[in-house]
Amino acid sequence: MEFNEEKTNKIAGHYKEIIRLLGEDAEREGLLKTPERVAKAMQFLMQGYEQDPEKILRSAMFTEDYRQMVIVKDIDFYSMCEHHMLPFFGKAHVAYIPNKKITGLSKIARIVDVYARRMQVQERMTTQIKECIQNTLNPMGVMVIIEAQHLCMQMRGVQKQHSITTTSDFTGVFEQAKTREEFMNLIRNSK
């Protein structure tokens, strides 16, 4: 990833001040390059704002007469909680049933990353992924399940280290309990 030097310098300046406000010596040898490293890390972690997920799906969209479930499961992701700017991470499971249009499988994982690489809440991220696929491919249905650990719950606050948060959202044929159950069985059974 290329970094905009002006943006990096501005962000680094703010982090240098934060380091000082927290009571640390920002001029200490070990911290001299920290503001710049954090500025670059934050730009990498937030690069989803500069990407168009629908364009990503359309870049590998094909006509295919396939009308069965397509599942991409166990998609690792890392995101930042917008409330505390601490990471949350886990796995996304995405299914859709095509309606004449399919997309390259890697594109499903890429759109998970686009939405994860923003300040997020898990609930919104789940819905954004679902809506992007539904709006772009117009399938017969989409279902997204996200399972994540939130460091804002594990490191601070209630400090529940082993808690997992699960969210789901679905459209179309996934509104039928039988179709949702098939998806759930398929993502559970082959682990």
Residues 106 and 185 in one domain: yes
N- to C-terminal Cα distance for the chain? Answer: 33
Query: How many structural domains comprise the chain?
Result: 2
Question: For residues 19 and 5, what is the distance between their CA atoms, to the nearest angstrom?
Answer: 21
Tell me if residue 150 is catalytic: yes
Are 32 and 94 contained in the same domain?
A: no
**Are 134 and 108 within one domain?**
yes
Q: State residue 143 phi and psi, 5-degree precision.
A: -140, 135
- The three-class DSSP label of residue 87 is strand
Contact 173, 141 (CB under 8 A): yes
pLDDT value at position 159?
A: 75
Question: Contact 119/48 with Cβ under 8 angstroms?
Answer: no
Give residue 124's pLDDT: 98
* One domain for residues 85 and 173: yes
User: Which DSSP category does 38 fall into?
Assistant: H
Same domain, 31 and 58: no
Quick one: 77 and 24 in the same domain?
Answer: no
Rg over alpha carbons for the chain, rounded to the nearest Å, is 20
Under 8 Å between Cβ of 163 and 88: no
* Domain that residue 41 falls in: 5-45
Residue 103 sits in a domain whose CATH number is 3.30.1130.10
Q: Which of 24, 50, 82, 123 is catalytic?
A: 82
Residues 98, 115: Cα–Cα separation, whole Å: 22
Residues 39 and 61 in one domain: no
pLDDT at 73: 97
Q: Half-sphere exposure of 14 toward its Cβ, with a 13 Å CA cutoff?
A: 9
Annotated catalytic residue within 83, 123, 161, 181: 83
Please name the residue ranges forming H helices in 60-121. 105-116
Do 13 and 105 lie in a common domain? no
Residue 190, pLDDT score: 56
14 is catalytic: no
Phi, then psi, of 80 in degrees rounded to 5: -120, 125
Q: Answer whether 43's CB lies under 8 Å from 3's CB.
A: yes
| Whether residue 152 lies in the annotated active site | yes
> pTM of whole model > 0.95?
no
The predicted pLDDT at position 157 comes to 76
* 59, 134: one domain: yes
Is residue 27 domain-shared with residue 70, that is, in the same domain? Answer: no
30 and 93 fall within a common domain: no
22 C-beta neighbours (distance < 10 Å), count:
8
Catalytic residue among 43, 93, 120, 122: 122
- In order along its 191 residues, the chain shows pLDDT tens digits of 889 999 999 999 999 999 999 999 999 999 999 999 999 999 999 999 999 999 999 999 999 999 999 999 999 999 999 999 999 999 999 999 999 999 999 999 999 999 999 999 999 999 999 999 999 999 999 999 999 999 988 887 777 778 899 999 999 999 999 999 999 999 987 55
| Residue 83 is among the residues annotated as catalytic for this protein | yes
Any idea what the CATH number is for the domain that residue 11 is in? Answer: 1.10.286.10
Confirm if 121 and 165 have CB atoms less than 8 A apart.
Answer: no
